[in-house]
Amino acid sequence: MSKTAIVIYSDPKSGSDESLGRLFNGLFVAYELIEKQQEVAVVFQGAGVRWASELVKPEHPAHALYNAVKDSVAGVCGGCADVFGATADAKSAGAKLVHEKMIPGTSGIIDLSKYLDAGYRVLNF
């Protein structure tokens, strides 16, 4: 069985179509792979952690797609949320903040290397 980690880096604060398009395409690939009964892990990393508080809004254009794949969301990078000022918003949205690997200057990040070690292909959006 194929395994894929989808990492969302795009920043919703940019307000660009490109940022929304990257998010949408990442979630759409997740949806397609889930339909094919493949193992998927969606990760929000870097400035992409800001999506956590946006996608729970029913009026957001990617809300329905997010709901369709949210069981495959591995989490939001806790250290990145700290750095990008998104911790409180992510917590209030009910996001799972992950602090797996300690790196200097953060409270810990999602360890993306574990996906590579486990044989996942990693797609970045």
Could you tell me the mean pLDDT of each successive run of 10 residues in the chain, 125 residues long?
A: 95 95 98 98 98 97 98 98 96 96 93 97 98
pLDDT of residue 79: 97
45-63 per-residue burial string, b: 16 or more CB within 10 A, e: under 16? bbbbbbbbbbbbeeebebe
Chain centre distance of CA 5: 10
Distance CA 96, CA 21 (A): 23
Domain ranges of the chain: 3-124
Q: What pLDDT does residue 1 have?
A: 76
- In whole angstroms, give the CA distance from residue 64 to residue 68: 6
Element (H, E) at 34: helix 17-35
In the prediction, which pLDDT does 92 show?
94
**pTM for the structure as a whole:** 0.95
Q: In this predicted structure, what is the pLDDT of residue 86? A: 97
- Alpha helix ranges (H) inside 36-95: 51-54, 63-69, 78-83, 87-92
Q: What is the model's pLDDT at position 40?
A: 98
Is the sign of the CA dihedral 86, 91, 95, 97 positive or negative? Answer: positive
Specify the CATH superfamily of domain 3-124: DsrEFH-like (3.40.1260.10)
